[in-house]
A and B are shown apart, each in its own frame.
Chain A
Amino acid sequence: MKAISDAIIRSPSDAADIPDLDVTPIMNMFIILIPFLVSMAVFTHLSILEFTLPSNAGIGLDDSAGKPELKLTIVVADDHLAITHGENMLDSIPVTNHNYDLITFRNRLSYFRQNVSIRNEAVVAVRDNIKFKHVVHIMDECRSVGFVNIGLSNATSNAESGV
């Protein structure tokens, strides 16, 4: 019976003849380090999206001959996304399942960007009832295909007219 009691009392480290590790300094370090890191931690990273108000939406003013050149305009409506160039409607991407098809939009926008003269500027024209998060997503997509300067404008109810 005494042998059984000894076996219960003996810890695994004793059984293997391994000395107990003194973890007190490590715990002290943790107790100092963790409050310091908590005070310096940033859990939400904020950034900004820059844009301008286009003075004349859809028209660039950088032509040396004085004749304004047209910029690509993306019309954001509640049932579709339209890509226009001046008065020409280039493409229209319908909303499916209450979501904008951003992948198709990105591909189409990238394709049309190759065919216009102003490739670093675009205008996002938004209808009044569109939620702001969708505007940000569309601006993100414009930036991802290479548009550097993005103008934000108001869209009329007639998408074919551009802005």
Chain B
Amino acid sequence: MVKKSNKSLNKNITQLINKTYQYGFSTNIEKDIIEKGLNEKTVRLISEKKKEPEFLLKFRLKAYKKWQQMSEPEWAYLKFPQIDYQDITYYSAPKSQKKLNDLSEVDPELLKTFDKLGISLNEQKRLTNVAVDIVFDSVSIGTSFQEELSKSGVIFASISEAVHDYPELVEKYLGSVVPIGDNYFAALNSAVFTDGSFCYIPQDTICPLDLSTYFRINDQNSGQFERTLIISEKNSSVNYLEGCTAPQYDTNQLHAAVVELVALENANIKYSTVQNWYSGDELGNGGVYNFVTKRGLCAGTNSKISWTQVETGSSITWKYPSCVLVGNDSQGEFYSVALTNNYQQADTGTKMTHIGKNTRSRIISKGISAGKSKNSYRGLVSVRNKALGARNYSQCDSLLIGNLSNANTFPIISVQNSTSKIEHEASTSKIGEEQIFYFLQRGIGIEKAVELMISGFCREIFTELPLEFAAEADKLLTLKLEGSVG
């Protein structure tokens, strides 16, 4: 009966929805942990454990003081219970921290974890031309191809290593793009960040490999506070990729990262993220709270920074990868797909600040909301008075799936001169039962139908992703959405 077929359709859908998050396992490993809670002692202890130079301890303490005076931002269109910052572990590292000579010396239990995640740390990764740094809870456990890269003068290391090996570079640039007190979460990160990646591309160098960091939260009560710093010198260029996953817990983990990019004259940085933190179950229990500050500084003339993000995970996403266009003729780009399902909430977008002459920015944002989720684009295009001839093009498209999801756009445009040109386009569309039925009537199955509509909607973004990421993103989105239509 039709009634039955309707039922079986629903059953099918439920099965698909309940497809488990395949990265939800956790790894049992001996850990070195600093007691839960945050006070000045914790900050000092982190610094001490990492044997940090004086300047960094000062940086951390200053940030901690700032943080204490600040309060959580409330302007975002997000709802979540009060976070208890004293109930979080700020340092959790796999034990056995003897210096590794080779990645083959990494704890086999950890290697297994990353094999399961589909990231191989061994040199076979070379085939795909990507050097990887792995951050597990609070520390980096290894970086591949360091030697290879150093031949061309490229430094790719964990930030902890960089603090010891290149303190003058770290001191010069850390906090130069995202100041200590920029916002509540950036201040928190500045006080307690434990690891992250550091990349330095010297003058006149095109980085021979794509660089990549893979973040993994393992511990149930740990926060992850990583710090990434990328510096691209005059006439250099680099492609950087970031991936993230977390185990499935019914409690929430806090992730508050800061990423700073600096592009000097004629430099070109392309930063791509596929974010797949655990997003909570279908009732909204658990999942990662993702509060991230990402900002790039186009300091030099004709420099370019491009952000591409595919946001599919996290129970809460608060993230605005931005560009500060100081150099004349510099360019900022933001390409984003943000997908929310079930009870996920995302408030994400970008800020483009035009300061130099003839600076250009381009924003393409695609929001997909399914289930009972909330998905907001928030953007600021700010053109200062000296940014003569600046240009911006923004396009914000929303796609609603089903009747219970929510999509918003909050674009703000502020222009302080009369020679600039700003364009903004927006659209909202919907995948509903009737569209699906149209596909079905033509003999096309529901999964294929959704896949086709989603990849059509996201096409402009996926073409910006590096090849291996694009294929992954396509699959990921389909997997996340399968069954949310019906």
Partners in one complex: no
